[in-house]
Chain A
Amino acid sequence: MNARMTAGYRTFTIFNYIFLTVATLSMFLPLLNVIAQSFSSPFAIDRGEVLFWPVEFTTIYYQYVFQDASIWRAFGISVFITVVGTFINLAATSSLAYPLSRDEFVGRKQLLLMIVFTMIFTAPLIPEFILIRELRLSNTLWALMIPTAISAFNLIVMRSFFIQIPKELIDSGRIDGAGELRMAWSIVLPLSKPVMATVGIFYSVMNWNTYKNALYYINDRALYPLQIKLREMLITDDIVDTGNDLFSNLATASPQGVQMTVIIVATVPIVMIYPFLQRYFVKGMMVGSIKS
């Protein structure tokens, strides 16, 4: 390397670090601003004084959000569809992915092709809507869990994992006289914890964030998941549904603080699983991309 190149590259490096820092801050600061607003007084928010640190610190929005039964209810619904839905996702996906990974399964290529086709050519919304209606799933929480039971992408990720489990293990199980189900349960499944965790976390994020299907299929307010509730609070500024005068005044006077607080409440679960999430999704992305 000669000196001129080094100088040029050094300048680039400095700008590169500055650029990446700015890019990272642009991801981080909006979140910080939301947190700061949720702890700031309505007056400070209205004056546009809140940047990245609370101004005139208060927890009043949190008190308001936590006393609102409908928010708690929506939170509970979201927890339910995340837990039960993810269980359904994993059971349905793995029980199809496992046979698809075995050479003994005649027609696996054709079946896989049929599944990949659904990724490229998706059915229009209305026939699906009519189907859900005809199946009597509308206005039940099943409408949020059954139609999304298997994602083709996650299925392929799981199948790729199952394929690389050595055949000798399965053969040795057979010699010991184990049936297919027993081999799947006590040999393959215990080895599959990493992929189950990866795909399970993908699915839980999907279930927690579910909005579209709830908008299409759920009219009953008692069954609204948190995302629908949050959206409602973001577009209608009258969040007054409370018997408490103090809180009513607060909410009508400054809806933004309340909105930012509900955003925090809806984000906390994702933030809590993010460290686990991050460990796995890079691997998951790779496996999925190799096959497609």
Chain B
Amino acid sequence: MNSHAPTTPNASRAKPPKPKLRSTLSFMLKYKTLYLLAVPGVVYFLVFKYVPLLGSVIAFQNYNLFKGFTGSPWAGLAHFQKMFAHYDFLRILKNTIYLGLLDIAIAFPAPIVLALLLNEVRKLAFKRTVQTIIYAPHFLSWVIISGIFVGILSPSSGFVNTMLSWFGIEPIYFLVENAWIRPVLVGSGVWRDVGYGTIIYLAALTSINPELYEAAEMDGANRWKQTLAITLPSLLPVITVLFLLKIGDFLDFGFERVFVFQNSLNLDSSEILDTFIYKAGLQQMQYSYATAIGLFKSIVGLTLLVIANTLSRRATGESLY
């Protein structure tokens, strides 16, 4: 490194820009191996993440596979107008928002509650067993999870309906009824991820200073008051960060998660933006229209994230960036 530093401070002051650039370049040359190592990864991000981002211009074109990006005629905002004018699109947007809200109301707080309950368990063996089992479903694919749910929710042979029949309840067709598909979609997500979600909260809980609890106990606060006064405020930064990320993903309920549970009978309630993009784009080859919807989704996500982040920074001082 020293060999490339300017010989004297004066020399560098005399001609400031050039030597600096040259020394940076020779510095880079000295560590060229590092740059060479990074090349494949950088190329990966440029090609597979940034090129498709640029390719989103086809949302403003009438894209034709044979004419390509450069030859396809421009369409302006026609595809976006079509989107908002279309009855189906509005229904699908409503489905997506509704599922997103349900997910935030149920799936988001669930791991927090579970972590708080697990934190009260004093028997270590019990705690470990519970943790080992509740983490596991997170690693199953959505296809497998849908298969399991098909098996246990089947009206004729599934054990859920078998158990319901013990209480005299008629079999419920969980997977083909519009009224039931949303609870199944949100519920299967909770089933899969609630345990895994507790990891981060449990880690935050262990970092709380035990002296705080001792002091609270001296003041006569019971366990519940301690939870309200110490535990929850300590978790707040983690909760805020995860909540902001969740808001950014608001319209992103997950293609696979919904697609594997979809059938022609529950489509009215289960069609979301992601599955619609797949059908309009890849199955019906309306490339530009599907891209317009995708772009809309990404922009809404980013906007929500920025708004929520600003609000949160003003209100609690916590923010992502």
Residues of A within 8 A of B157 (CB): 37, 45-48, 50, 256
**B238 CB, nearest partner CB in chain A, Å:** 8
Complex CA–CA separation, A174 to B278 (angstroms): 52
Whether the pair B34, A48 counts as a contact (CB closer than 8 A) is: no
Q: Does B195 contact A (CB under 8 A)?
A: yes
Whether the pair B139, A126 counts as a contact (CB closer than 8 A) is: no
Whether the pair A123, B49 counts as a contact (CB closer than 8 A) is: yes
Q: Given A99-B37, A115-B45, A263-B148, check contact A286 B56 (CB 8 Å).
A: no
Most buried by B among A30, A115, A215: A30
Whether the pair B120, A12 counts as a contact (CB closer than 8 A) is: yes
Residues of A within 8 A of B121 (CB): 16-17, 20
Whether the pair B38, A95 counts as a contact (CB closer than 8 A) is: yes
Whether the pair A278, B148 counts as a contact (CB closer than 8 A) is: no
Q: Given A20-B118, A37-B151, A46-B157, check contact A212 B38 (CB 8 Å).
A: no
Complex CA–CA separation, A17 to B122 (angstroms): 10
| Contact of A16 (CB < 8 Å), options: B34, B42, B117, B152 | B117
**A155 CB, nearest partner CB in chain B, Å:** 8
Q: State which of A63-71, A127-135, A239-247 sits at the interface with chain B.
A: A127-135
Complex CA–CA separation, A245 to B43 (angstroms): 53
| Contact of A1 (CB < 8 Å), options: B117, B146, B217 | B217
Q: Does A199 contact B (CB under 8 A)?
A: no
Residues of A within 8 A of B150 (CB): 234, 259
Whether the pair B281, A125 counts as a contact (CB closer than 8 A) is: yes
Residues of B within 8 A of A282 (CB): 199, 203
Q: Given A124-B52, A124-B277, A211-B142, check contact A118 B45 (CB 8 Å).
A: yes
**A290 CB, nearest partner CB in chain B, Å:** 10
Q: Does B28 contact A (CB under 8 A)?
A: yes
Residues of B within 8 A of A115 (CB): 45
Q: Does B12 contact A (CB under 8 A)?
A: no
Q: Does B62 contact A (CB under 8 A)?
A: no
Whether the pair B136, A27 counts as a contact (CB closer than 8 A) is: yes
Main secondary structure of the interface of A (DSSP, over half): helix
Whether the pair A230, B143 counts as a contact (CB closer than 8 A) is: yes
Residues of A within 8 A of B142 (CB): 209, 211
Complex CA–CA separation, A215 to B258 (angstroms): 14
Complex CA–CA separation, A24 to B293 (angstroms): 40
Q: Given A17-B126, A120-B302, A150-B44, check contact A34 B151 (CB 8 Å).
A: yes
Q: Given A46-B156, A92-B44, check contact A27 B195 (CB 8 Å).
A: yes
Q: Does B248 contact A (CB under 8 A)?
A: yes
Whether the pair A9, B223 counts as a contact (CB closer than 8 A) is: yes
Residues of A within 8 A of B200 (CB): 285-286, 289
Q: Does A175 contact B (CB under 8 A)?
A: no
Residues of B within 8 A of A122 (CB): 298
Whether the pair A150, B41 counts as a contact (CB closer than 8 A) is: yes
Residues of A within 8 A of B162 (CB): 48-49, 51
| Contact of A131 (CB < 8 Å), options: B35, B51, B144, B277 | B51
Whether the pair B52, A123 counts as a contact (CB closer than 8 A) is: yes
Which residues between 263 and 316 of chain B lie within 8 Å of chain A, taking CB atoms?
Answer: 263, 277-278, 281-282, 287, 290-291, 293-295, 297-298, 301-302, 305
With A20-B121, A123-B298, A180-B37 already in contact, 15 other A-B pairs whose C-beta atoms are closer than 8 Å: A9-B222, A27-B133, A30-B152, A34-B152, A48-B165, A92-B44, A96-B37, A123-B55, A124-B290, A124-B297, A127-B54, A184-B37, A209-B140, A211-B260, A256-B157
22 A-B pairs (CB sep. < 8 Å)? A8-B222, A16-B121, A17-B121, A20-B118, A34-B152, A47-B157, A48-B162, A96-B40, A104-B31, A105-B31, A121-B302, A123-B49, A123-B298, A124-B52, A124-B297, A125-B281, A127-B53, A131-B47, A180-B34, A270-B140, A282-B199, A282-B203
List chain B positions with a Cβ less than 8 A from chain A.
24, 27-28, 31, 33-35, 37-38, 40-42, 44-45, 47-56, 58-59, 65, 114, 117-118, 120-121, 126, 129-130, 132-137, 139-144, 146-152, 154, 156-159, 161-162, 165, 191, 195, 199-200, 203, 217, 222-224, 241, 248, 255-256, 259-260, 263, 277-278, 281-282, 287, 290-291, 293-295, 297-298, 301-302, 305, 320
The 5 A-B pairs with the shortest beta carbon distances in the complex, nearest first, are A124-B294, A96-B41, A127-B55, A123-B52, A209-B141
